[in-house]
Homo-oligomer: A and B are copies of this chain.
Amino acid sequence: MKVGIINVTGYAGVELARLLRNHPEAEIVSVTGRSAVGGKLGDVFPHLSNIDLVIEPELGKSVDVAFSALPQVASAEAVVPLVRGGVKVVDISADFRLHDPVEYETWYKSVHPAPGLLEESVYGLTELNRDDVASANLVANPGCYPTGALLALAPLASQGLMQPEVVIDSKSGVSGAGRGFSLLTHYSEVNENVQAYGLDGHRHLPEITQELGRLMPDAEPKVTFVPHLIPMTRGIFSACYVRPKDGALVSGGKATARLMDLYRDFYADDSFVKVATSPPATKQTWGNNDCLVYPVADERAGCLVLLSCIDNLVKGAAGQAIQNMNLMFGLPESAGLEGLAVYP
């Protein structure tokens, strides 16, 4: 299987390269960049020196599948001719996540560059959409925050067990902000510091609301989403707070155990989503494709607390993209993704 990576020079791009290098069925044949064009991949990123490729301005060889790690708008533009030409595409940008082009324009301040592809694109939160992904030609890979938050909420939401008001308080490592420069990626500003951002509406909010709405079609979710930047490189920890529809879910002294059963059942067949047996930590997913979920019932206050941990660059980006590719080509879902987390 010949693979191309569009814009390999960002963090999602290099992570795709790292993971695909050891994929048993895939071979990276072409990588492009918006910077460093003409350079050897291993000179620009020494940890990739085992991959003998030059960074090209455009995908150079015929590929069976392409990953786009471009920013929105540019990504859709690059993807259209590929999809039209029969190449399967996993788009890591936000371009095909929101089904409604009006909503897209509201949040991304740009007319959608390829509204004609919206209908055939599939939202690639693998565990919640496995069948559609398997038959898709264009997968919209989810945002990092939506991945963790939706996996924490899905068992409750899909069974109509929660009220529509949701608070999602997420803590992210800095790599989520990419390799670009700003005070939010400046070491001396971020180290020994924690701050909330996107308080007037983060772009991942409509994505969470859209997918939560699909999971609980009888309700209209009201999501408060507050992402925080914390001083670490990788990892997202999301704490989701909801009230149960049925008070029984938080009473009787064994509510957490019942929740656990519910979650274990829901994810029984998913190798990458694990219901933790003790409170999870992002480091337990460092560098691999796991999502750890952990539900707790706060019986005193009548509140459900749903926790999840992922590596934002793996399950939150490159890893899930490969998981989707595996499905699209009929491979085992975990092919190339079997590395354990690097701990400590």
Contacts and interface: CB of A to CB of B under 8 A. Distances in A.
Interface of A: 11, 14, 18, 21-22, 43, 45-50, 165-167, 169, 171, 173-175, 179, 181-182, 185-197, 199, 201, 222-224, 226, 228, 230-235, 237, 239, 241, 243, 274, 276-288, 292, 296, 298, 300-303, 305, 307, 338-344
6 closest A-B pairs by beta carbon, nearest first, are: A181-B181, A195-B281, A193-B283, A47-B341, A188-B344, A222-B301
A222 B343 contact: no
Given A185-B186, A186-B179, A190-B187, A224 B305 contact: yes
Interface-central residue, A187, A199, A241, by most chain B CB under 10 Å: A187
30 contacts: A14-B343, A22-B339, A22-B340, A43-B278, A46-B276, A46-B277, A47-B285, A47-B286, A166-B301, A171-B171, A171-B230, A174-B187, A175-B344, A181-B182, A181-B186, A191-B231, A191-B232, A192-B283, A193-B232, A193-B235, A193-B283, A196-B237, A199-B305, A222-B300, A224-B241, A224-B303, A228-B237, A234-B344, A286-B342, A287-B287
Q: How many copies does the complex hold?
A: 4
A343 B45 contact: yes
Contacts of A305: 199, 224, 226
A283 B47 CA distance: 8
Contact of A194 (B197, B281, B340): B281
Contacts of A224: 241, 298, 300-301, 303, 305
B47 A343 contact: yes
A302 B232 CA distance: 32
B22 A338 contact: yes
A249 to B, nearest CB: 14
A163 B344 CA distance: 39
Contact of A192 (B21, B192, B298, B338): B192
A230 B194 contact: yes
A35 to B, nearest CB: 12
Nearest to A283: B193
Given A185-B187, A193-B232, 19 more contacts: A18-B343, A22-B338, A46-B276, A46-B280, A47-B340, A47-B341, A50-B340, A167-B169, A175-B188, A186-B186, A187-B187, A189-B283, A191-B191, A192-B344, A194-B235, A230-B230, A286-B342, A287-B342, A342-B342
A141 to B, nearest CB: 20
Contacts of A190: 187
B237 A195 contact: yes
A41 B285 CA distance: 16
Contact of A307 (B188, B196, B234, B243): B196
Contacts of A11: 188, 344
Contact of A187 (B191, B282, B301): B191
A189 B187 CA distance: 9
A199 B296 contact: yes
Contacts of A338: 22
A29 B13 CA distance: 37
Nearest to A194: B237
B341 A188 contact: no
A296 to B, nearest CB: 5
B169 A179 contact: no
